[in-house]
């Protein structure tokens, strides 16, 4: 099992231990000692050394109860202790981001509010985010990043941006006039080519539409026919599933997300809540057994 993090109510306590943090020393130190009702994990510290143990107690109901068994999860040669005052240790992705800077299979983090938590055997789920720019930053990638900053109930996730620049699409399909879906995106090309914006319903011209299926449909509605030249820019078409977890968006989805295993498509104007639903669906498909320990 990788990506082990403590659940919200499985509190981590920190103990300063006399003597070396060996398996025997830790077991001897904790066995029989009273632990608080919520304590399941103890970060043991001796000088600069850190170890992580899991403890079981005689009973869970009393406020304190004697420890009846000690499981060594990581000894000092496998542990890093990081002080990172800006990190919310309740967010698994944030723990994994700290862990990525350390060469240790157990990373203990003292973060925001001085809360201490840990991640054991970090292996964040890598999710490719297929998006288009402009606008910049890539909206779906930026939304997913913002969701993960607060995602207490999602496993550690690492986002990988896979972004197509509409200007590159235009360059690959030379034209003297482009039609793009909306002025608000901030699209512009260098050189003599002109740009018109479909949302302004300009007089029809001999243009190349850089657009999605929805834009081609709007073109047909406005002008009675589909454009003669059209370049696909729907991320769902530009980023086909390739066996890796994928988050992307589609012009034709309006109301809800479309999960298909580890590929989830969201509406073009997805809310942060929908982006979160999508990340959760991908995580569940990619790592169905994951739950905070
Ligand atoms: Zn689409």
Q: pLDDT per residue over 188-212, tens digit each? A: 888 889 999 999 999 999 999 999 9
Whether residue 270 has pLDDT greater than 80: yes
Residue 86 has what pLDDT?
97
Whether residue 145 has pLDDT greater than 90: yes
Whole-number Å distance, alpha carbon 12 to ligand 1 midpoint, is 46
Please say whether the dihedral angle defined by the alpha carbons of residues 4, 107, 73 and 34, taken in this order, is positive or negative.
negative
Whole-number Å distance, alpha carbon 140 to ligand 1 midpoint, is 14
Residue 123 has what pLDDT?
97
Whether residue 183 has pLDDT greater than 90: no
Q: Report helix, strand or coil for 220.
A: helix
Whole-number Å distance, alpha carbon 206 to ligand 1 midpoint, is 24
Whole-number Å distance, alpha carbon 184 to ligand 1 midpoint, is 19
Neighbours of 214 (CB within 10 A): 17
For 30-39, 76-85, 177-186, which range has the lowest pLDDT when averaged over its residues?
177-186
Residue 235 has what pLDDT?
94
Angle, to 10 degrees, between the axis of helix 139-150 and the axis of helix 92-99?
100
CA-CA-CA-CA torsion for 243, 247, 249, 252, nearest 10 degrees? 60
Whole-number Å distance, alpha carbon 195 to ligand 1 midpoint, is 22
Whole-number Å distance, alpha carbon 265 to ligand 1 midpoint, is 9
Whole-number Å distance, alpha carbon 248 to ligand 1 midpoint, is 10
Closest CA to 37 of 11, 16, 18: 11
Whole-number Å distance, alpha carbon 284 to ligand 1 midpoint, is 24
Whole-number Å distance, alpha carbon 221 to ligand 1 midpoint, is 17
1 pLDDT band, cuts 50/70/90, is: confident
Angle, to 10 degrees, between the axis of helix 139-150 and the axis of helix 272-286?
70
């Amino acid at each position: 099992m990788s990506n082990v993090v403590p659940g919200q109510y499985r509190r981590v306590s920190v103990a300063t231990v006399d003597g070396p943090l060996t398996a025997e020393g830790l077991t001897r130190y904790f066995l029989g000692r009273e632990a608080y009702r919520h304590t399941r994990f103890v970060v043991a510290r001796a000088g600069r050394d850190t170890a992580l143990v899991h403890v079981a107690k005689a009973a869970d109901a009393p406020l304190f109860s004697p420890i009846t068994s000690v499981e060594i999860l990581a000894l000092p040669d496998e542990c890093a202790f990081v002080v990172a005052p800006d990190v919310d240790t309740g967010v698994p992705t944030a723990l994994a981001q700290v862990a990525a800077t350390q060469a240790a299979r157990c990373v203990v983090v003292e973060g925001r509010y001085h809360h201490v938590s840990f991640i054991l055997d970090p292996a964040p789920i890598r999710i490719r985010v297929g998006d288009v720019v402009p606008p910049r930053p890539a909206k779906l990638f930026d939304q997913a990043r913002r969701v993960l900053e607060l995602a207490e109930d999602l496993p550690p996730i690492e986002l990988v941006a896979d972004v197509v620049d509409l200007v590159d699409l235009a360059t690959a399909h030379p034209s003297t006039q482009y039609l793009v879906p909306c002025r608000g995106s901030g699209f512009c090309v260098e050189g003599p080519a002109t740009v018109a914006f479909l949302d302004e319903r300009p007089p029809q011209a001999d243009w190349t539409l850089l657009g999605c299926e929805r834009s081609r449909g709007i073109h047909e509605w406005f002008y009675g026919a589909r454009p003669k030249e059209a370049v696909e820019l729907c991320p769902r078409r530009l980023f086909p599933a390739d066996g890796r977890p994928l988050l992307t968006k589609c012009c034709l989805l309006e109301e809800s997300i479309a999960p298909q295993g580890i590929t989830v498509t969201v509406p073009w104007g997805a809310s942060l809540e929908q982006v979160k639903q999508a990340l959760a669906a991908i995580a569940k498909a990619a790592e169905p057994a994951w739950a905070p320990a």
